[in-house]
Amino acid sequence: MSSLECDMPAVESAARSYSRAAIGLRNPHLPEIVEAQSGLTWLEIHSENYLLPPTAPRSLALERVRNDLALSCHGVGLSLCSAEGLDHTHLQDLRRLYDRLQPFIVSEHLAWSATDGRYYNDLLPVPYSDEALDIACRNIDQAQQALGRRLLIENPSRYIDLPGSSWSEPAFLAEITRRTGCGLLFDVNNLHVSAHNLGFDAADYLSDLPIQAIGQFHVAGHSQRRLMAPDGREDVLLIDDHGSAVPNEVWRLLETMLAATGPLPVLVEWDNQVPALAVLLAEAAKAQEFIDACAMCRAESSGHAA
């Protein structure tokens, strides 16, 4: 078990204190967000977009944002499932960034994206095997120690069942959290996409998930691609592209998960065909309604119990 486990209550408390809806900070909105009366309490940034000198214009703009809003840092380049191990220079760069920004949450993907010194512009999946589990846990332990912070690990969107898997995804995630003391950034849209594409039941999935390890939610939109099966039947593949509004199916799944976890931070992702800031804030307002309803139900249940 990770030596960072002693920090888990403090990390959970910080996350609960920011149990509000937010949006990802995107470059087109950076000047506007400083002046906007958004009602937000925090924003999420992609860590690699800010690995710049503190005096760079984008860094200075982010410092102005940080005067008013807390930050969550979402990394996309650590390649936590790489058998070659982690890039120590990248870890050091992230540590300097996080020490400067003091984010209340730091997260990364359960994926790999680099090999033989080459970096791919994608987050690639791994089989849920014993070997992959050992690699992921080793790298997560190393990352948490190097960064001095507990990581939240994001579940992937899936399109095929990789050969060699001997664990279900929720069992794999549960074992990672048990061994390393990390938490989960649970992407609700990824679950919906994976359940549709692979034909499993989301409710069965959730029954095996370590709900208590979730520290943040992501919601997003997805696209559809129509495919022709070998037998002539038409099929639909869902693509996790973060390029549209959150669909009703994902909102309903978020509602189910919040009922199990209680209020937590919820991030609306919209990375492609980024709309006007007002559109993103409207999506965040929808997410906030679900958080508020969850908090009200919890309060009423506590009152009845008393």
* E strands present in 47-165: 70-74, 105-109, 112-115, 118-124, 151-154
pLDDT at 131: 97
What was the pLDDT predicted at 304?
64
- Quote the CA–CA distance of 169 and 148 in Å, as a whole number: 27
Considering the chain, what is the average pLDDT of its residues?
90
Sign of CA dihedral 21, 257, 238, 151: positive
List Cα–Cα distances, 149 to 3, 6, 125, 140, 155, in angstroms. 11, 11, 24, 11, 19
Residue 179 phi, psi (nearest 5): -75, -35
User: Given pLDDT bands bounded at 50, 70 and 90, which one contains residue 4?
Assistant: low
Cα dist from 292 to 189, 212, 296, whole Å: 20, 20, 6
Encode pLDDT of 246-284 as tens digits: 999 999 999 999 999 999 999 999 999 999 999 999 999
Please answer whether residues 193 and 156 qualify as being in contact, where contact means their C-beta atoms are separated by less than 8 angstroms. no
If one compares 227 and 10, the residue with the highest pLDDT of the two is: 227
pLDDT in tens, 194-212: 999 999 999 999 999 999 9
Three-state SS at 19: coil
The CATH number of 3-305 is which of 3.30.300.250, 3.40.50.300, 3.20.20.150, 3.40.50.1000? Answer: 3.20.20.150
How many Cβ atoms are within 10 Å of 290's Cβ, its own excluded?
Answer: 21
pLDDT at 16: 52
pLDDT digits (tens, 9 = 90+) for 26-53: 988 988 887 877 889 999 999 999 999 9
Does 303 score more than 90 pLDDT? no
**The predicted structure's pLDDT at residue 5:** 47
Rounded to an integer, what distance in angstroms lies between the CA atom of residue 192 and that of residue 240?
10
Length reported for the chain = 306
Per-residue pLDDT tens over the stretch 105-132:
999 999 988 777 777 667 878 999 999 9
* Predicted pLDDT at 3: 42
pTM score of the predicted model: 0.90
